[in-house]
Structures are given as C-alpha cells and as structure tokens.
C-alpha cells in the first residue's frame, strides 16, 4: 500500500579521532546488504595496512586538483596536514540510483557541504566514551608522534563543537550497541513520511474510501464483504 522512494538515502558518519567509526562502518556494511560505503579519494600517503581502491583511492595533489577542476567531487576538504580528501560524485550518484543507502565516512567540513547540497542527508556523529579512552586508543595504535597526537586532539575538540549540526550522536563504548543504535536510526529514517513516494489504494479500499468521503454518507447503506 505504501511505496517508498526508490533512490537510496545518503548517510554521513563523522566522529572524533579514534572513536571507532571505521570499525562501525565495516560492521554496518557487513550486516546490511542495502548499505554501501563510498570510497573517497585522498592525496595523503597510503598506510602500510591500507589497500588502494578499498580504503581510499590514493592520488597525488596534482591529480586531486585536476578532479576538482573537472567538478568530480560531491564535496572535498583539506582534512589533515593539508592533505585533500574528497567524495566522488559519479560513484555515489550511481549507488543511490540503484537504491542503495550510501554511507560517507567524512569529516565535519565535508558534512556541512553535503548537508547544503542534500538537506535530507542523515548526519550521525560517533563519539568515543571519553577523551581518556581516545588517548589510550591513540597510544595503542602507536602510529604518531607527540606533535601529531596534539594536532589530532585539537581537531577532535573543534569537531565536538560542531555536533549540533548533526541529527544523531552515538557513543561508541561497546561496538555491538553502537552498531545496533545506528541500525535503529536507519530503520526509523526509512519510515519517515517524507520518504513515501505514494500511498497506493487497492480497488476495494478505494470504493470504501469514496463511500466514507461522501457527504451523503449518513443516508447510505454500506456493506463490507
């Protein structure tokens, strides 16, 4: 009876450093066939454990700037250490048209740009349970020097100040709970009245509807078979 809009929903997942958004996104995509994650382009160096074309498309700053000039990004920003990060327009558009819900795992600057272009985007912010826990996770990763860690903290505090631009906030204390919360958000978003394209009425229901709307209703006999 209810026909939902065919095109998928755009979902932004941002979060403070070490909030675990990458793990959450991987889990969401593994469990939900209708979800796809957009692979961004970046001009930052590939890390040892990363795969080109899976984690990011790694390109040079010059190649990135060419893509900017060709209008190939839905959004882009210089996120860390002056490196570019951007969401490809074509891939995201195709996935949405195929009916997939598409997750963009992007920063606050990118989220703002997307929200302006597509106001119906669902914006979710992931928080680590505490900054103490963030410190512990950074040390555990052991990848960065002191200066880089301080920079990460600065960005994290700036991003927390922007939480009011988001629709939902999820604390990632226990991974399973965080994933379930996001799944619940996505299910309820699907039930929003503005996601309905059409309410189709079957033949018999239409007759009943017409009868009930009739001004002369009181004086008519009506039988529901």
Q: Which residues bind ligand 5GP (CB under 6 A)?
A: 14, 40, 44, 75, 77, 79-80, 85-87, 105-107, 109-110
Distance CA 72, CA 93 (A): 11
Distance CA 222, CA 204 (A): 13
Strand duo 73-80 + 83-88: pairing: antiparallel
Shortest spacing between CB 183 and ligand 5GP, in angstroms: 20
Q: Which is nearer to ligand 5GP, 8 or 88 (CB)?
A: 88
Distance CA 132, CA 204 (A): 62
Shortest spacing between CB 39 and ligand 5GP, in angstroms: 9
CA 106 to chain CA centroid, nearest Å: 8
Q: Which is nearer to ligand 5GP, 161 or 203 (CB)?
A: 161
Q: Which is nearer to ligand 5GP, 101 or 105 (CB)?
A: 105
Q: Which is nearer to ligand 5GP, 20 or 86 (CB)?
A: 86
Pinpoint the alpha helices (H) of the chain. 21-31, 61-69, 89-97, 108-117, 131-141, 146-160, 175-190, 203-213
Shortest spacing between CB 144 and ligand 5GP, in angstroms: 10
Q: Which is nearer to ligand 5GP, 47 or 192 (CB)?
A: 47
DSSP 195: G
Shortest spacing between CB 107 and ligand 5GP, in angstroms: 4
Q: Which is nearer to ligand 5GP, 77 or 127 (CB)?
A: 77
Shortest spacing between CB 2 and ligand 5GP, in angstroms: 34
Shortest spacing between CB 210 and ligand 5GP, in angstroms: 52
Distance CA 52, CA 68 (A): 20
- List Cβ<8 Å contacts ≥24 apart for 44-52: 44/80, 44/81, 44/83, 44/84, 44/85, 47/143
Tokens of 66: 């060419």
């Amino acid at each position: 009876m209810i026909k939902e809009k065919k095109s998928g929903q755009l979902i932004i997942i941002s979060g403070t450093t070490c909030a675990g958004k990458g793990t959450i996104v991987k889990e969401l995509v593994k469990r939900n066939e209708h979800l796809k994650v957009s692979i961004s382009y970046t001009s930052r160096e590939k890390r040892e454990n990363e795969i080109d074309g899976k984690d990011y498309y790694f390109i040079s700053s010059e190649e990135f700037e060419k893509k900017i000039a060709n209008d190939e990004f839905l959004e882009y920003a210089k996120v860390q250490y002056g490196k570019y990060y951007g969401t490809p327009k074509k891939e995201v558009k195709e996935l949405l048209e195929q009916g997939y819900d598409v997750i963009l795992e992007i920063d606050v600057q990118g989220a703002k740009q997307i929200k302006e272009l597509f106001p119906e985007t669902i914006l979710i912010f992931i928080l680590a349970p505490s900054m103490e826990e963030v410190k512990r996770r950074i040390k555990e990763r052991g990848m960065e020097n002191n200066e880089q860690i301080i920079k990460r903290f600065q960005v994290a505090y700036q991003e927390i100040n922007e939480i009011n631009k988001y629709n939902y906030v999820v604390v990632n204390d226990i991974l399973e709970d965080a994933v379930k919360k996001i799944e619940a958000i996505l299910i309820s978003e699907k039930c929003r009245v503005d996601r309905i394209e059409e309410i189709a009425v079957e033949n018999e229901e239409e007759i009943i509807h017409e009868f009930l709307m009739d001004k002369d209703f009181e004086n008519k006999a009506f039988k529901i078979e």
